[in-house]
Amino acid sequence: MKDFTISSGLASKLASVVVHADEMCDVKAGHFFDQIALTQACRDPEVKAWIKSLGVLAPVKRSAK
Protein backbone atom coordinates (compact mmCIF):
# COMPACT_ATOMS: atom_id res chain seq x y z
CA MET A 1 0.00 0.00 0.00
CA LYS A 2 1.21 3.51 -0.84
CA ASP A 3 2.39 5.70 2.04
CA PHE A 4 0.32 8.90 2.31
CA THR A 5 2.35 10.46 5.10
CA ILE A 6 2.20 14.25 5.00
CA SER A 7 4.33 16.94 6.58
CA SER A 8 3.16 18.82 9.65
CA GLY A 9 2.93 21.94 7.49
CA LEU A 10 0.56 20.25 5.04
CA ALA A 11 -1.46 18.73 7.88
CA SER A 12 -1.87 22.23 9.33
CA LYS A 13 -2.97 23.64 5.96
CA LEU A 14 -5.50 20.87 5.45
CA ALA A 15 -6.83 21.28 8.99
CA SER A 16 -7.21 24.99 8.27
CA VAL A 17 -9.23 24.18 5.14
CA VAL A 18 -11.58 21.97 7.13
CA VAL A 19 -12.07 24.54 9.89
CA HIS A 20 -12.58 27.44 7.48
CA ALA A 21 -14.93 25.44 5.25
CA ASP A 22 -16.97 24.58 8.33
CA GLU A 23 -17.07 28.27 9.26
CA MET A 24 -18.00 29.28 5.72
CA CYS A 25 -20.93 26.86 5.79
CA ASP A 26 -22.21 28.59 8.93
CA VAL A 27 -23.51 31.90 7.57
CA LYS A 28 -23.44 33.50 11.02
CA ALA A 29 -19.75 32.74 11.68
CA GLY A 30 -18.27 32.84 8.16
CA HIS A 31 -16.45 35.88 6.89
CA PHE A 32 -14.32 37.05 3.96
CA PHE A 33 -11.07 35.78 5.47
CA ASP A 34 -12.40 32.21 5.35
CA GLN A 35 -12.62 32.49 1.56
CA ILE A 36 -9.05 33.84 1.38
CA ALA A 37 -7.70 31.00 3.57
CA LEU A 38 -9.46 28.39 1.44
CA THR A 39 -8.26 29.91 -1.81
CA GLN A 40 -4.65 30.07 -0.61
CA ALA A 41 -4.72 26.49 0.64
CA CYS A 42 -6.24 25.23 -2.61
CA ARG A 43 -3.53 26.93 -4.67
CA ASP A 44 -0.65 25.84 -2.42
CA PRO A 45 1.92 23.79 -4.40
CA GLU A 46 2.35 21.27 -1.56
CA VAL A 47 -1.41 20.73 -1.37
CA LYS A 48 -1.62 20.27 -5.16
CA ALA A 49 1.27 17.77 -5.13
CA TRP A 50 -0.30 15.83 -2.26
CA ILE A 51 -3.67 15.63 -4.02
CA LYS A 52 -1.96 14.48 -7.21
CA SER A 53 -0.10 11.80 -5.22
CA LEU A 54 -3.44 10.34 -4.11
CA GLY A 55 -4.14 9.26 -7.68
CA VAL A 56 -7.60 7.71 -8.02
CA LEU A 57 -8.33 8.40 -4.34
CA ALA A 58 -8.35 12.16 -4.97
CA PRO A 59 -11.65 13.90 -5.53
CA VAL A 60 -12.17 15.39 -8.99
CA LYS A 61 -13.00 19.06 -9.24
CA ARG A 62 -16.44 19.62 -10.73
CA SER A 63 -16.72 21.76 -13.86
CA ALA A 64 -17.87 25.32 -13.46
CA LYS A 65 -21.24 26.05 -15.06
Residue 59 counted as domain residue: no
Residue 42 counted as domain residue: yes
Residue 64 counted as domain residue: no
Residue 29 counted as domain residue: yes
pLDDT in single tens digits along all 65 residues of the chain: 677 788 888 888 887 787 777 777 766 666 777 778 878 888 888 888 888 888 888 877 777 55
Domain with 23 in it: 8-53
Structure confidence at residue 65 (pLDDT): 57
Angle between helical axes of 32-43 and 45-53 (0-180°, round to 10): 60
**Does the model's pTM come out above 0.75?**
no
Q: Count the neighbouring beta carbons within 10 Å of the beta carbon of residue 7.
A: 10
Cα 21 to Cα 15: distance, rounded to the nearest angstrom: 10
Residue 19 counted as domain residue: yes
Phi then psi for residue 41, to 5 deg, are: -65, -40
Structure confidence at residue 5 (pLDDT): 84
Residue 61 counted as domain residue: no
Q: Give the total number of structural domains in the chain.
A: 1
Cα 41 to Cα 22: distance, rounded to the nearest angstrom: 15
Residue 32 counted as domain residue: yes
Residue 1 counted as domain residue: no
